[in-house]
Every structure is written in structure tokens, then in C-alpha cells.
Structure 1
């Protein structure tokens, strides 16, 4: 009962408009004061321990790499690379939106960062070619969902840090689901653009054209290669790879493309600091909830319910999907992951569910919440960038959300879609 009251307190303050980390801190303090199950000094101790892991440095550096790619002009070159191959297809810009987000995801690892970088470039181009404004905004919002899923997704780093799972395995586990999501969203684009009257996109396939676009884009394309080689060969830790990728992008932006100005440089650092500060605040207070869950033996209570009602592993995954889909609709994915990941993962493992499979299913589910109301962060962001009402962007995003849910069902029922690559590279 005590743990239920704490969650009610947390959601109450969230709905009042307080930041999530403040709501979590108040709820944790309320629990300690009401139950006496620990001294108040443990709050400060947990907050310090929560942000003391050096691997957390990977998060701001991946975000900074994405910011620097944008201001250095690398994003435009990735768009040109994508359009070269699909420029003749009807709806080429919409397909390119999905494709560029997938490539950009290989560096930034953040949905909002991808949307902020790519949408201001694509939305005017799509308007010029006759795409409906709400469809354009929805396409950009949906494409940015790939940011946290396709490696090196920042949520994968979160989960690896709080559960001691291999981040490399989590990265590879999300690869096939991310590709499937991109394919299914491209199918939605193909269905939607059939009856649209669009201006034809000029594109000529030629060997000379290919060499030109490759010459212009090979340096941006090398950034994700650096990340993959570093992580999956074990040559460097995730933090070291993030720092190396940032240094590479910074070097190319300053000395090759010469587009990173001092003003842009500081703006990128400012955006990265703001995003990272909110994440670190959540990590600081998450330890309080972990302590409460351990003291109240919530995990053992869930295990007893599973045994009492003879819940199968597949049914458990289904119930978790429902839970995380609901949580993704009403709160940010990060606190949901920090609170429920360490609680449910040991239970899933005990039931014989592969931990990488469970972690990937959880993260993909929560990321769908980025385009579901009422708290869909990408819907709000694209509403702001496009100038359209939130309701119009939300309605236009519904087909993409359905496509993502279909992929979610597939990776839930067929664990091999998640575990094949990790087992192939690291051994089963």
C-alpha cells in the first residue's frame, strides 16, 4: 500500500506541472517521512551515487555529436545521399525523412535531437513539393522515433547502466527492430503519397552522380562507422567511443567543412548541457525509488502474483507491453525505465525471458510514447517547429504509431528478431 501511495504522490505532482525529477524526489521524501524506513540523509547519498558512474558521460557526448553534425552541414549531405537512391520514387522526400533519421540515429541516439536537426531542413522542402503540412510534420516526428532505438540509442545506455546488461548487446539487439520500424513507416509513406499531387523530385541516377554524392557524404557516413567499430570490437568503452565520435565530427566541421562558428559551437554546448542536466537529475533521484521498491519487496509480490495466476512468459511480456505503452503516454520514457527496468528485468530473466530481448521490447515500447498523446515529446516538438496545432500533428501521426505497434508485436512474439545479432557477434 505504501508504494502505491508514493506513485500516486509522484503522478499528482507531475500533473500539477512540476518537473518529473522534482515529483520523484518529493514522492521519495514523503515515503521516508511517512514510513521511517530510512534516514533522510540517504536521499543525498543516493543522488550522489546516481550520477557517479563515469559511463554516464557517454550520454552528453552522443548528444553533442548530433548537435555538431547539424551545425557542420553534415545533415544536409546525408539528405543528399539518401535522395540520390530514392529520388525517383514518388514521395522521395518523405521516404528520405525516414532514411536520414535512421542514419542520423547512428550518431545522435536521441529522438528530439534528430527531429530538431532534420525537421527544419525537410519541412520547407516538403511544403515546396506539395506535401500536406500535417503529414510532413507527422512523418518527421515518426522518423525521429528511430533516434533512441537504432544504435547508439541513449536509452540503451540508460538500461545498461542501471541493470548491468551489456550495452553492446543492447545496441545490436535494437538493430533489427529499428530497421523493421523504418521499413514499416516507409510502407505507410508509400500508402499515403499514392493520391497526393506532388511536384516530381529531380533526381538522375548515374555513375558520375553517385561518385559526387559519395565524395560529399563519405565523411559524415564515417561517423557511425567509428562508433560501431569501437563498441563491437571492444577497442574502446561506450564513453570513449562517444568522445571519439564527437571529436571526429568537431574536427571535420571546423577544418574540412569550415561551418562550425564560435557562436554555433557554444549553442551546441548549451543545448547539450540542458538536455544532459535533465537526464542527470533523473538518475540522481532514481536511486530513491530503487530503495523503496527493494524495501517494500515489490518484486517478490509480483512474482507471487505470476505464480498464483500461472502467467506464461508471453503473457508477462504482453502485460509489460500494456504497462509501458500506458506509461509512455503519460510520462517521459527515462523515469519509467529507471523505475521499472530494474524491477521487472530480474522477474523476466527468472521466467526464462532473454534479458536483452526484454530490455529491447521495453525500450521500443516506451519510444512509441514519443508520438502518442498526451505527453508525446516529438508531437509537441514538431507542432512547435511546423507551427501546426498539436491535435493535427497527433492525428496525422496515428498511422505511423500503428505501424510501430505492429513491429512491437513482432519483436515481442519472435525474440529471435532481437537476440540473433547479439548472439551472432558476442556468442549465445
Structure 2
């Protein structure tokens, strides 16, 4: 009963417009006052312990790396490099958008960062080639969902800190689903662009000389995701050190080699990364107190026993989890959704024999689809602002891409090797 009151108060405060981490903290303090289970000082102690993890530094540095890539012009160079490989194919800029998002996803780990970086370059180019604006905006928004799925991934880092799962395994688990989402979006683009009256004026011929010219412009930009990938796979450095190395590399190339990043740009990028990460840290500060309350109330065991009594098959349990997180993704951000529900549901999944990495990746993929589903789709708001397309029009044009991504989600949910094959092979 006490735990029910806790969640009712928390969701009521969220509905009234209170910040999520404040609502969680206030409801937790109310629980302690109501039950007398522990002194109120437990709240402050738990908040300090919640942000005392060194690995959390990876989050602002991955965000910083993505911003610096855009400021340095690396994103534009990657666009030109990707356009070369697409060749003289109708809809080449649409396919370039997907390919660039895959590459940029290997740097920032943030959907909004990738969306802003790639859209600022490709939206004007796609308008010039007479792509319908609503299609271009929907494509850029949906392609950016690969950012938090393909490693590195800020939600994966958060999930690893929340559950003590391996960051490397979660990263590798998200690689194949992320690429499959890219291929699914590719098919939607092929179907839609074949009937568009496009005027594509900047297509490249596939020649060896052209390849070397494109590579000469882009090779420094391509090293950034390579640094992260090698660091994760080899284990020579921690995930935090990888993020710092990537940020330092992009800053050096932009400021010293390309000379496109200036002091005011650096200060702006650092400020943006700090503001973004502060919201994540605030959320993490209240995670510990919630974990303590869930443990005291034995909520995991209660729900686990309920699942056993109902004789739920693992496949049906995964179906219910998919529905739950799909709905949550529509109404709240990924990080609070994981904070509240994953610590309770993960032990139940493990009790049913579901691989924890498989479960974690499925949850993240599900919530990333939520970035482009109304009413709270974060990428929809970013893209609507960038493209000047009305929110409802943008959401409507995202539907074919969303259905394609849901098909990949179902494949990853019910064919576990799609997620677990790479982690089991590498680690």
C-alpha cells in the first residue's frame, strides 16, 4: 500500500507539471515521513551517492563530442563522404541522411544532438533538390533515433549505471538493431522517393579519383567514431576515458587542423553539454533513494511472485514489456522511464530466463522509438523547430518510418541473437 501511494503521488506531481526528478524526490521524502522507515537525511545521502559514479562523466563528454563535430564542420564532411558512396541514385540525399546518421551515431550517443547536427546540413540541401519539406523533416527526425541505439549511447550508459550491466555488452547489443533500423528506414525511403519529382544537382560519380578526393576531406572525421569503437572493443580504456579521448580529438581537429572552432564556440559547446548532463545527473541523484524504497518494500519479489502465479511465458512477458515501454515512450522521456521501471522489471525478466542485455537493449530501442511518437516525442519538437513543419504534420509523416522501426523492435524482441550475438562473441 505504501509503495502504491509513493507512485500515485509521484505521477500526480508530474501531471501537475513538476520536474520529474523533483516529483521523485518529494514523493520519496513523503514516503519516509509516512512510514518512518528511515530519517529524512537518507534522501540527501542517497542523492550524493547517486552522482558519485565516475562513469557518469561519459554522458556530458559524448554530448560534447557531438556538438564539437557539428561546430568543426566534421558533420558536413561526413555528409559529402556519404554522398559519394550513394552515387547517382534517385533519392540519394535521403539515403545519405540515413548513412550519415549511422556514422554520427557512433560519436555523440544522443538523438537530439544528431538530429540538430545532421538536419542543419541536410534540410537546406534536400529543399534545394525539391524533396517535400515534411518528408525531409520526418526522415531526419526518425533517422536520428539510431543515435542512442548504435554505440556509443547515452541511454545505454545510463542503463548500465542503473543496473550494473556491462556498458560494452549493451553497446554491442545495440549495434545490429540500430543498423537494422537504418535499413528499414532505407526501404521506406526507396518506396517514397521513386515517385518524387526530384531535381538532384549534386550527385557524385563513382570513380577512384573521386573516392580519394572524398576520403582526403573526411578521413579525420571518420577517426572519431573509430576511436570510440576500438576503445569499447579492446577494453584498453574505460567508457569515460573513451568519451574524453573522442571529445579531445574532435576539439583538436576542429581548433588546430580545420581551424573552424573558436574560443566562443568551445565555451558554448561546454555550456550546452553541462546543461544537458545536469538534467541527467539530477535524475540519477534520486535513483538511489527509489532503489532503496523498492528494496525495502520488496516490490521486485512481489511482482515476481505474481508473474509466477500467472504462469506468464517469457514471450508473453516480453510482449507486455514492449507495450508498457512503447506507451511510456509516448508520454515521458527515456531516462525517467528507465529509472522508475527497469530496476523492478529486470530481476523478473532474469527470473524468466531472459538475457539481461537482451532485455536492456529492447527497452532502449522501444523508448527511442518514443522520441518520434506524440505527444512527447523529443525529436519531433527539435525537428519541427528546425524545419518549420507543424508538429502534427511532422508526426503524421513519421508514421511509415515508425511502423518500420516497430518491425525491427519486434524482430529484436523475439529473435534474441539479433541483440546477444555480438556481445557473446566479443566479451
TM-score category, normalised to shorter length:
over 0.9
1:354 maps to: 355
CA RMSD of aligned residues (A): 1.1
Gaps of 5+ in 2: none
Q: Look up the match of 2:214.
A: 213
- Give the equivalent residue in structure 2 for 1:204: 205
Q: Distance in 2 between matches of 1:373 and 1:87?
A: 35
Residues 375-408 of structure 1: CA distance to partner in whole angstroms, max 9, x if unpaired?
1000011111111211011111111111111000
Equivalence map 1:291-310=2 (5 Å): 291-310=292-311
Q: Distance in 1 between matches of 2:252 and 2:374?
A: 40
Q: CA deviation at 1:34?
A: 2.3
CA distance in 2, matches of 1:14, 1:226: 40
Structure 1 counterpart SS, 2:107: helix
Unaligned runs of 5+ in 1: none
Q: Which moved more, 1:133-142 or 1:290-299?
A: 290-299
1:236-385 matches, cutoff 5 A: 236-385=237-386
**2:39 & 2:323 partners in 1: Cα distance?**
35
Deviates more, 1:25-34 or 1:70-79: 25-34
Per-residue deviation, residues 86-134 of structure 1 (Å, max 9, x unmatched): 1422111111111111100101000011011111111111111111111
Alpha-carbon distance, 1:338 to partner: 1.7
Match of 2:136 in 1: 136
TM-fit CA distance, 1:2: 2.6
Could you say which residue in structure 1 is the equivalent of 2:32?
Answer: 32
Q: Which whole-Å CA distance do the structure 2 matches of 1:360 and 1:3 have between them?
A: 27
For 1:240-298, what per-residue CA distance to the aligned partner results, in whole angstroms no more than 9, with x for missing partners?
11111111111111111110011111111111011011110000012222122112211
Give the ranges of 4+ consecutive aligned residues of structure 1 lying more than 4 Å apart after TM superposition: none
Aligned to 2:9: 9
CA distance in 2, matches of 1:377, 1:416: 30
Query: How many residue pairs align between the two structures?
Result: 426
- Contact kept, 8 Å, 1:357 with 1:418, in 2: the verdict is yes
Q: TM-score, normalised by structure 2?
A: 0.98
Does 2:46 correspond to 1:46? yes
Q: What is the deviation of 1:74?
A: 0.1
Instruction: Using the TM superposition, give the Cα deviation of residue 35 of structure 1 relative to its aligned residue in structure 2, in angstroms.
Output: 2.4
Do the aligned residues in 2 keep the contact of 1:286 with 1:335 (CA within 8 Å)?
no
How far, CA to CA, are the matches of 2:47 and 2:84 in structure 1?
Answer: 49
- Mapped pair 1:114 → 2:111: no
User: How far apart, CA to CA, are the structure 2 residues paired with 1:314 and 1:379?
Assistant: 31
Aligned-pair distance for 1:37? 2.3
The answer to which of 339-348 and 75-84 deviates more is: 339-348
Q: Report the 3-state secondary structure (helix = DSSP H, G, I; strand = E; otherwise coil) of the residue aligned with 2:286.
A: helix
| Contact 1:106–1:152 (Cα < 8 Å) also in 2 | yes
C-alpha displacement of 1:9: 2.1
- 2 CA distance for matches of 1:179 and 1:274? 30
CA distance in 2, matches of 1:387, 1:16: 29
Further displaced range: 70-79 or 88-97 = 88-97
